[in-house]
Amino acid sequence: VKQRRPSAQQLGAFQKLITQTFGLLYDDDKLSTLEEVLMRRCQRQRSSLEDYLRRLPGEPAELRVLAQELTVGETYFFRHGEQMGAYLEEAVPRRNAVRGDRPLQVLSAGCSTGEEPYSLAILARLAGLAETETSFLGLDLNAASLQKARSGRYSLWSLRETPRELKERWFLQQGSDFVLDPSIVSSVEFRECNLLSAAPDLWQSDRFDIIFCRNMLMYFGQSQARQVVQRLVRSLAHGGYLFLGHAETLRGLSDELELFNSHHCFYYRKPPRGTRPGHSWSARTPGESSPEPLPLHCSETLDEDWMETIRAASERILRMSHAPELPSPGEAPGLHEILELQESERYGEALAALRTLPPEVKAQPETVLLEAVLLVHLSQYHLTEQLCRQLLEGAHCAAGAHYLLGLCQEGHGQQQAAVAEHRAAVRLDPSFAMPRLHLGLLARKAKDLPTARRELEQAMLLLQGESPSRLRLYGGGFGREALLDLCRSELQALPLPGAGRRRR
Ligand SMILES: C[S@@+](CC[C@H](N)C(=O)[O-])C[C@H]1O[C@@H](n2cnc3c(N)ncnc32)[C@H](O)[C@@H]1O
């Protein structure tokens, strides 16, 4: 029997229940995903919509299924290498120095399939800590992800950012799998846990030395994010460190921690007992010795307009989610080679290879996106536009699609329309560096110098944390350093802001 579609009221009730139970916020433009899951689960359970929705809050087994359906588990080893550097060179040594004879306690909240806590465990070993001197805990809502985490078995895709020496030292290749060293697997405990649920044994105050909670809060509603952050802050030791995802911030969620900046990344520290939070900006570069980060107030070092831009961007991202935009080579044979051709700017060959893929692979949104990227580089703007509209209609890869539409408009010489598309991309994903870079370049052309400066500065900041896969896809053959150099030279070419520039 064909499942009836839910009414707006039923869908609204489901949406609310999901946000209240798991924290996950589905904006109105993502309701089609929720609707599809709701209809499928009703059909599976042979329940009417009314019955399903009435019973759902009291059905933990069904809620667990929904958690597995609705969470985004994108992760990989040594994700955001700059933060890994700050963890290794700043957080671990400082907390190790004060831990006494208890183990260093590290939490990965929202650990997905385990790559994050395992990376932290490997790095702690590199810092000279023995297994008995550390305790790693990974928490996640998704039971299937945790099961995979416990197996310690990964595909090459999970190791895409893992340096070769670490891969060789800590993984054993078995067929196409990479099996993690058993001493690392046994050093991490995994626990199924909804971070919104009370678990008094877990959230004791001052328990953890270091907490990673990355790329989870950005999927949350504001009040649920605040609730989780309060819990994390309470259980973080004084002097302990909190790392959020590179596009996430505590603004509007907590002012109890101080912000640090070193190793080209941001992170937080709970002030040592008896001190109050200030914003601390360490001017240290990686590899230097590790002095106490300088306690400077941020307004002394940063332009406040710039801070405001980051704040606004960060708040927006808390209300949004974005899907990983690159296909896994393991899942789509042949794509790896196409990406390599694309990276070496052999767009025609890449397009020809892409067109030989099986139809079901070609129809995947990620492949459509890749085709659109290739076409835009071949100046085939009308075809690119068709594919982007197709993606947008299906609500897939929307930020990327708008960015590519922006490039098409630039190609047509339509500067204003290009700005509108790039802005749409930024609205959908404030952590996306490339549209910011183009907004900066377009503003410079239009002689709007304050906007040019702001966008280029923001692009520089975001480029430092931009994911390698997204850089490969959208960087137009330029690597991170080349794009950063471009921003730098564009910024240097701008006239300095006038002495009478307004400061808030
Ligand atoms: C995108 S992954 C992030 C993985 C890893 N932290 C990283 O940055 O690579 C987000 C994870 O948060 C988990 N999650 C979402 N809501 C949660 C909740 N209420 N409680 C616990 N985990 C949750 C999801 O299951 C998913 O595995």
Instruction: Give the pLDDT of residue 498.
Output: 54
How much of the chain exceeds pLDDT 70, in percent? 86
- Distance of CA 143 from the midpoint of ligand 1 (Å): 11
284-to-263, 288, 294, 384, 404 alpha-carbon distances in Å: 7, 7, 9, 44, 37
In testing the pocket of ligand 1, which one of 216, 228, 317, 318 has its CB within 8 Å of the most ligand atoms? 216
Q: Are strands 153-155 and 177-180 parallel, antiparallel or unpaired?
A: antiparallel
| Residues 133-171: b if buried by 16+ CB within 10 A, e if exposed | bbbbbbbbbbeebbebbeebbbebebbbbbeeebeeebb
pLDDT reading at 314 higher than 80: no
Q: Is 74 in the pocket of ligand 1 (CB under 6 A)?
A: yes
Q: Is 277 exposed, middle or buried (0-12, 13-18, 19+ CB in 10 A)?
A: middle
- Cβ proximity of 65 and 144 under 8 Å: no
Instruction: Give the pLDDT of residue 331.
Output: 42
- Distance of CA 72 from the midpoint of ligand 1 (Å): 7
Residue 359 or 298, more confident: 359
* H or E element in which residue 261 lies: strand 258-262
How much of the chain exceeds pLDDT 90, in percent? 54
Residue that is written with structure tokens 């229940």 in the block: 17
Structural tokens at position 92:
């671990």
Instruction: Give the pLDDT of residue 284.
Output: 32
Q: Is 483 exposed, middle or buried (0-12, 13-18, 19+ CB in 10 A)?
A: buried
In testing the pocket of ligand 1, which one of 17, 21, 71, 317 has its CB within 8 Å of the most ligand atoms? 71
pLDDT reading at 327 higher than 80: no
- Cβ proximity of 198 and 219 under 8 Å: no
Structural tokens at position 314:
């960060």
DSSP conformational letter for 158? G
Q: Is 327 in the pocket of ligand 1 (CB under 6 A)?
A: no
Residues 6+ apart with CB under 8 A from 371: 351, 354, 362, 387
Single-letter amino acid, residue 436: R
Q: How far apart are CA 49 and CA 197, in angstroms?
A: 26
Helix/strand/coil for 421: helix
Residue 206, CA atoms < 13 Å, CB-side half-sphere = 6
Structural tokens at position 322:
């974005």
Q: Is 458 in the pocket of ligand 1 (CB under 6 A)?
A: no
- Distance of CA 61 from the midpoint of ligand 1 (Å): 19
- Cβ proximity of 118 and 185 under 8 Å: yes
Residues 6+ apart with CB under 8 A from 283: 294
| Average of per-residue pLDDT across 380-389 | 91
Instruction: Give the pLDDT of residue 244.
Output: 95
- What confidence tens digit (pLDDT) does each residue in 122-178 have? 999 998 999 999 999 999 999 999 999 999 999 999 998 888 889 999 999 999 999
| Average of per-residue pLDDT across 108-124 | 97
